[in-house]
Structure 1
Amino acid sequence: MQIRKILVPVDGSEHSTKAARYAVDFAKLVGAELLLLNCRMQVPPMLGPDAYEQAKIGLQNRSNELLEPYRILLRGAGVAFTDRIMEGPVEDAIVQLADFEKCDLIIMGSRGHSDLEGLLVGSTTHRVLQIAACPVTVVR
């Protein structure tokens, strides 16, 4: 099995930062490219056109700001990467992007930013483990 592309979902949490660092080391070891993903919330369609656009731009900017420290980390490590911002249910976005981009592996944190911080494995991580077609490595 050759690992060429690794998906790394990030949300700014300590766990996703640890997962990104682990993914950098792993990518260097196997010569893989990383694909960073930040999933943002959907903009409610019932907003008026102006408010909808403002909300969409604001969320896009926030995702870009969140991704920037990860971009700096990967550039500094000399690891090839691309990044994506998607909206919608996080676990669905992760699995869909992994399938679409033909990722060989997903590396993600055991928990992220959520109201369920006390769980051993976060609900998003648990769901990705259940539905992903490729292997998933969970970093804690």
Structure 2
Amino acid sequence: MDQRKIAAAIDGSDYSDKVLDKAIEYARLLDARILLIYCHRKFPKILGHPYRDHIISAIMDETNETVAPFVKKLTESKVPFEERFMEEPAGSMIPQIAECEQCELIIMGSRGLSNIEGLLIGSVTHKVLHIAHCPVLVVK
């Protein structure tokens, strides 16, 4: 039987620390792996080479810098984990990844780092709650 998986969606906000703490707690209780999900900004589509490559490299550097403390914490916790770095939009990518990876639970913050667009069309958490095929634990 495959080991259970818990998706922990982070964005680098203060809520992300709480999300990871709760994911580690649940993973230990359920003998589960953590699937750490981070959605970076979109890669440019219309820039040509080499400009596009430079921007992609910068986005991945930012991603690695943002995720590094969470990876360190997971490594120190000794809980098995995997990472998934995906392009936005996070609200649709998080449930899609959780479904593809057969996660039993998504853990995410009630708020995060969002721009004004999130205030106008609804939060990432709200969208995930409505389209996820598994339970979602929202951490405050």
TM-score by length of 1: 0.90
2-structure distance, mates of 1:59, 1:76 = 26
2-structure distance, mates of 1:56, 1:90 = 18
1:49 alignment partner in structure 2: 49
2-structure distance, mates of 1:30, 1:101 = 17
CA offsets per residue over residues 6-25 of structure 1, 9 Å max, x none?
A: 00111110011111111111
The count of residues paired between Structure 1 and Structure 2 equals 134
Percent identical pairs in the alignment equals: 42
2-structure distance, mates of 1:74, 1:88 = 23
1-structure distance, mates of 2:33, 2:43 = 31
2-structure distance, mates of 1:9, 1:50 = 31
Letter in 2 for 1:25: E
1:22 alignment partner in structure 2: 22
Deviation at 1:26, TM superposition (A): 1.2
SS of residue in 2 equivalent to 1:49: coil
2:102 alignment partner in structure 1: 102
1:7 alignment partner in structure 2: 7
Task: Note if 1:76 corresponds to 2:76.
Answer: yes
Task: Note if 1:36 corresponds to 2:36.
Answer: yes
Deviation at 1:88, TM superposition (A): 2.6
Unmatched 5+ stretches in structure 2: none
TM-score by length of 2: 0.90
| Displaced runs of 4 or more, over 2 A | none
1-structure distance, mates of 2:115, 2:85 = 22
CA RMSD of aligned residues (A): 1.5
Deviation at 1:115, TM superposition (A): 3.4
Deviation at 1:134, TM superposition (A): 0.5
1-structure distance, mates of 2:20, 2:39 = 15
2:129 alignment partner in structure 1: 129
Unmatched 5+ stretches in structure 1: none
